[in-house]
Amino acid sequence: MKAGKVYLVGAGPGDPGLITVKGIDCLKKADVIIYDHLLDQGLLEAAPAAAERIYVGKTAGEHTRPQPEINRLLVAKAKEGKTVVRLKGGDPFVLGRGGEEAEVLAQNGIAFEVVPGVTSAVAVPAYAGIPVTHREKASSFAVITGHEDPGKDSSSINWEKLATGVDTLIFLMGMKNLPEIADRLIEYGRRPETPVAVIRDGTRPGQATVVGNLKDIVSRVAEYGLTAPAVIVVGDVISLREKIRWFDNRPLFGRRILVTRARRQASALSRLLAERGAQPVELPAIDIQAADPGELDRAAANLENYHWIIFTSVNGVEAFWERLRHLERDSRALGGLRIGAIGPATAQALEAKGITPDYIPEVYTSEGVIAGLKKQNVTGQRFLLPRADIADKELVRGINRLGASVHEVTAYRTLPATGAIARARQMITSGEIDIVTFTSSSTVSNLVAAFGGEPLTIGRARVACIGPKTAETAARAGLNVDIIAREQTVPGLVAAIEEYFRKEA
């Protein structure tokens, strides 16, 4: 049996983009992941599908597994010869009990490595626009636990020296003891007017910050209803927040937006929304599945029979190239053809395969494709159209009217993602969603089908559609469409959502 090994990996404070490259590399080779509370669940997707995932999270008053049991679990899994990732929030060695776990591993002769993470003590204030040091305001900072081991006889915090001996103080896990922290600092010499910031859910889309001073912060936190988990920052650097805050003043900050896309496509829209401060909720309305490849294989093997190939989606490009590879062919097989792409995203997918499209319409719709082809003199030419099983016939009829013939081939199938619907229904009806996005008519149709064919009821949520055709489908489903993108692309949809909220403000 091979020797096992444990990696103590810091996952960062919440934003999944803050994990290190080495941390992701460890996840990719993990046999077992033993992970904490407050981690972005998306990080677990970096691990192999077959990896065992074990949750050992701890919340106030509730420990899934006590620390000694976690220690035994690490040792046991490593002794089975497995590669174990102990995924911990923040940094393993900053108030995270990583040192204790490393001790146990060393005592049992288990090989291990420590992969440091971005600590919430520095990252959370930074996301709130608060630098922990500043040339004019703070030359030192200290990180202090706000929740000491209850089994200790006395506090190990030297309040007398801490209160005035360090410029910026950062307390982790201190919400319950906030009144005592403020009282102790004032008692031992810190000015009552010293600025204090309490930051909840730092680095996450739901981040909330309350600013006050030592004498009023407790009442201000109570007034705003702020609860744990939170980071407490004390010091003059807090005065910089209004000048340099950058995270919680982005155009879509705090908006929860439902992304109804095929699973493999959701990430692009979600990424753009997150960059603008929104909280994307990926609840795919459709799954993309392979179609019977027979007809597509025959078309791909006889490309000399066509003059044009028109791709109407990224999925169509991927499905077509998968069959080319199966036939042991590559992009050279398209050398004698003219290639059309319905829009920029599809064009980018083709360029990734080494193909620069000959034609992209000015308007990224079937009507736009047909309008542009009128100028191409395509009479008598043959078109190959590899696309979804539920695509409408408008493009086919339009090309036929131009005197050309069309061979339409099902390249992939779209099916309702029924497993996500219960959660979608609950979040929509409870008013948790601000915007419901639709990026194609099929996402609307499949959501309706997944809801059992009932009219869609979305409460207070607004509806945003990528283009007029999708908006028409949404309207037929009984929805009031609030936003239609002028440019029918994912970036165009995000821009339209931004503009909507800008006007509403």
Residues acting as catalytic residues: 36, 58, 173
Per 3-state DSSP, the chain is made up of helix, strand and coil in percentages (nearest 5) of 40, 20, 40
CA nearest 466: which of 490, 447, 498? 490
Q: How far apart, in Å, do the first and last CA atoms of the chain sit?
A: 63
- For 339-393, give the DSSP string: EEESSHHHHHHHHTTT---SB--SSSSHHHHHHHHTTS--TT-EEEEEEETT--S
Give the Cα-Cα-Cα angle 286, 298, 329 (nearest 5 degrees).
90
| Tokens (6 digits) for 110 | 């288990």
Q: Give the distance from CA 43 to its chain's centroid.
A: 10
| Tokens (6 digits) for 89 | 């929030």
Is residue 293 reached through a cis peptide bond, with omega within 30 degrees of 0 on the bond before it?
A: no
| Tokens (6 digits) for 171 | 């307390």
Q: How many other CB atoms are found less than 10 A from the CB of residue 83?
A: 18
101 contacts 85 by C-beta, under 8 angstroms: no
| Residue 1 CB burial class (10 angstroms; 0-12, 13-18, ≥19) | exposed
Q: Beta strands 256-260 and 462-465: pairing type?
A: unpaired
